């Protein structure tokens, strides 16, 4: 083979490779084409940032910022992301029904002389400094006996036959484009709850994974109760939106002033407010308002909002994350034991012990629950006596926890640092703690890298 033919063949191979690499690999596969179907057009859906719907005198405007949609008209409010994204997708990738194509005819026959609705899709071209583009689709009559509707591009003659579902989506009431997630849904990471109710106030905050009561009393909050309350609020859903003609008189709905005013603070410090008003006549929902929008929510929320602060106080004496614990000092009678966490593991009075021993002790401490709050306990008198048992938990950050147990009225009274007042503790519960301390205190020493053996009796 001559060198010339070799060069020609080499050039052909290079061109073929370039075609495959640059063009063919970007073409949709057969399965992708089958799934997508034949299209009238395919616009850059990822760059779509606005939708304008005109239905007679009503105008609905939606705008996209980052990954979220917002309703601008007829009133500003967070949009239902699924409804807005689905409509944008249908308009950007307009499917051509099987067997149908563009037609010709008089617009009057298809209801397009005076379109029932118009949808304008707006997008920006990032390659041309955000140059704005738009396309307006006009909708006419639904074709009897089919699932098609007549449409056309504004300013053009050809009649398009589009899915009737798209025509229906364009004509949806404005309320159906509003988000029914009052606070944004379960993705909201709640770090604070503030409920103003008349002259009273309930406030909870989450710090380092631990929930605390801040108002009307500063105390440790029950994590399970607080988390459930936060979850109920973050996932709160709108039952129905109240027409503007009815929502104009807020006082009639118990919203001026509101019965309850809720403020959620998320992990980033952003605040989200909600007003709760009176119960609706159906007895199943209450009026609520947020961002100038009035709607109803289930009245089960009111039961939670009306609870007294005592329902949120933790029955457990202390709360901590095990990974934060750096040491424990436990004293029962004359015996004092010091557990310390070091890089190599846990030690007891200077000798190495198994990590499981310390973990069991932490479990016993966390499991101690109070029976009630002792509002009338003489704390000063109790503190002047030697406690039956005393436990201090040192943390990597922040002040330590300290629990002191004193005899009181046949049972025990617990005074806990970082918590107000005293707590009644049954002797049975205290005995479980002291037994755990005794067991941990007699744990055998271990040599690093070796597992201790237990002698059979």
Is the pLDDT assigned to residue 201 strictly greater than 80?
yes
Residues 197 and 165 both lie in one domain: no
User: How far apart, in Å, are the Cα atoms of 389 and each of 81, 350, 400, 415?
Assistant: 57, 22, 17, 11
206 domain residue, yes or no: yes
Torsion angle of alpha carbons 103, 104, 106, 110, nearest 10°?
0
Structural domain includes residue 362: yes
* Residues 374, 402 share a domain: yes
437 shares a domain with 346: yes
Beta-bridge mates of residue 54: 59, 118
Distance CA 413, CA 12 (A): 92
Number of domains comprising the chain: 3
* Range name among 122-126, 228-232, 250-254, 400-404 with the lowest pLDDT average: 122-126
In a domain, 295, yes or no: yes
Confidence bin at 10 (pLDDT 50/70/90): low
Task: Supply the pLDDT for residue 444.
Answer: 85
Both 166 and 245 in a single domain? no
CA 141 to each of CA 51, 62, 152, 377: distance values in angstroms, whole numbers, following the listed order: 21, 24, 11, 79
Tell me if 120 sits within 8 A of 51, measured CB to CB. yes
Indicate if 128 and 51 belong to the same structural domain. yes
**Which long-range CB contacts under 8 A does 395-400 form with residues at least 24 apart?**
395/320, 395/324, 395/325, 395/326, 396/324, 396/325, 396/326, 397/208, 397/324, 398/208
Rounded Cα distance, 407 and 71, in Å: 63
Q: Does residue 158 sit in the same domain as residue 204? A: no
Q: What pLDDT is recorded for position 26?
A: 43
215 in any annotated domain: yes
Q: What is the pLDDT of residues 258-281, one digit of tens each?
A: 999 999 999 999 999 999 999 998
Give pLDDT tens digits for 52-99. 999 988 999 999 988 889 999 998 999 999 999 999 999 999 988 765
- Could you tell me what percent of the chain has a pLDDT over 90? 64
- The Cα–Cα gap between 128 and 12 comes to 34
Token pair in block for residue 242: 């109240």
Same domain, 351 and 235: no
On whether the CB atoms of residues 113 and 46 are closer than 8 A, the answer is: no
Please enumerate in sequence order all residues whose Cβ is within 8 A of that of 245, keeping only pairs 6 or more positions apart, or say none.
none
Cα 319–Cα 219–Cα 311 angle in degrees, nearest 5: 90
Q: How far apart are CA 402 and CA 418, in angstroms?
A: 8
d(CA 443, CA 348) in angstroms, rounded, equals 9
Whole-number pLDDT of residue 185: 80
Give percent of the chain above pLDDT 70.
88
- Computed over every residue of the chain, the mean pLDDT equals 87
CATH of the domain at 128: 2.60.40
Considering the domain boundaries, does residue 391 fall inside one? yes
Whether the CB-CB separation of 316 and 244 falls below 8 Å is answered with no
Q: Is residue 366 part of a domain?
A: yes
- pTM equals 0.78
Residue 296 falls inside a structural domain: yes
Domain holding 392, by residue range, is: 322-441
- What pLDDT band is residue 445 in, cutting at 50, 70 and 90? confident
Phi, psi (5° rounding) for residue 166? -70, -45
Q: What is the mean pLDDT of residues 103-110?
A: 77
Residue 2 maps to a domain: no
Does residue 283 sit in the same domain as residue 391? no
Domain boundary among 177, 208, 227: 177
Domain identity same for 87 and 164:
yes
pLDDT level of residue 254 (50, 70, 90 thresholds): very high
Collapse the DSSP code of 260 into the 3-class scheme (helix H, G, I; strand E, B; otherwise coil) and give the result.
strand
User: DSSP letters of 121-134?
Assistant: EEEEEGGGTTEEEE
pLDDT score of 453: 55
d(CA 22, CA 12): 15
User: According to the model, what pLDDT value does residue 224 have?
Assistant: 94
The pLDDT assigned to 248 comes to 87
> Do 305 and 173 share a structural domain?
no
Relative to beta strand 58-65, strand 68-73 is antiparallel
Last residue of a domain, one of 291, 312, 333: 312
Given a contact cutoff of 8 angstroms between Cβ atoms, the answer to whether 65 and 22 are in contact is no
Contact 406, 388 (CB under 8 A): yes
Residues 156 and 194 in one domain: no
Of the residues 118, 151, 177, which one is the last residue of a structural domain? Answer: 177
Strands 131-142, 148-153: pairing kind: antiparallel
271 and 326 belong to one structural domain: no
Q: Sorting pLDDT into bands at 50, 70 and 90, what band is 27?
A: very low
């Amino acid at each position: 083979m001559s060198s010339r033919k070799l060069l020609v063949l080499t050039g052909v191979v290079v061109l073929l490779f370039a075609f495959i690499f640059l063009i063919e690999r970007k073409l949709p596969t057969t399965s992708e084409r089958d799934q997508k179907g034949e299209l009238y057009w395919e616009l850059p859906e990822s760059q779509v940032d606005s939708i304008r719907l005109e239905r007679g005198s009503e105008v609905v405007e939606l705008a996209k910022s980052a990954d979220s949609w917002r309703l601008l008209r007829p009133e500003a409010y967070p949009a239902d992301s699924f409804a807005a994204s689905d409509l944008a997708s249908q308009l950007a990738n307009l499917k051509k029904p099987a067997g149908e194509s563009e037609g010709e005819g008089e617009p009057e026959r298809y209801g397009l002389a005076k379109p029932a609705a118009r949808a304008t899709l707006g997008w920006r071209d990032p390659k041309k400094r955000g140059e704005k583009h738009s396309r307006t689709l006009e909708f006419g009559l639904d074709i009897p006996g089919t699932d098609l509707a007549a449409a056309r591009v504004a300013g053009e003659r050809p009649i398009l036959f589009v899915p009737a579902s798209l025509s229906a989506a364009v004509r949806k009431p404005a309320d159906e484009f509003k988000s029914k997630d009052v606070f944004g849904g379960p993705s909201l990471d709640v770090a604070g709850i503030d409920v103003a109710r008349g002259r009273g106030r309930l406030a909870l905050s989450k710090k380092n994974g631990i929930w605390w009561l801040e108002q009307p009393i500063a105390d440790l909050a029950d994590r399970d109760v607080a988390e459930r309350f936060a979850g109920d609020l973050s996932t709160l859903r709108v039952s129905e939106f109240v027409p503007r003609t009815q929502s104009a008189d807020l006082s009639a709905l118990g919203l001026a002033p509101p019965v309850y005013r809720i403020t959620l603070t998320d992990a980033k410090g952003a605040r989200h407010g909600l007003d709760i008003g009176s119960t609706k006549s159906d007895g199943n929902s209450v009026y609520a308002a947020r961002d100038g929008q009035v709607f109803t929510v289930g009245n089960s929320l009111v039961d939670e909002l009306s609870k007294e602060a005592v329902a949120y106080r933790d029955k457990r004496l202390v709360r901590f994350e095990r990974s934060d614990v750096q040491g424990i000092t436990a004293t029962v009678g004359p015996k004092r034991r010091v557990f310390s966490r070091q890089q190599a593991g846990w030690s007891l009075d200077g000798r190495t012990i198994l990590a499981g021993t310390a973990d069991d002790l932490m479990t016993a401490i966390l499991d101690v629950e109070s029976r009630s709050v002792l509002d009338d306990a003489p704390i000063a008198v109790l503190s002047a006596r030697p406690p039956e048992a005393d436990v201090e938990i040192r943390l990597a950050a922040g002040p330590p926890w300290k629990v002191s147990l004193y005899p009181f009225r046949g049972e025990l009274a617990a005074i806990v640092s970082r918590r107000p007042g005293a707590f009644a503790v049954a002797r049975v519960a205290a005995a479980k703690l002291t037994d755990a301390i005794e067991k941990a205190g007699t744990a055998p020493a271990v040599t690093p890298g070796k597992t201790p053996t237990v002698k059979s009796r």
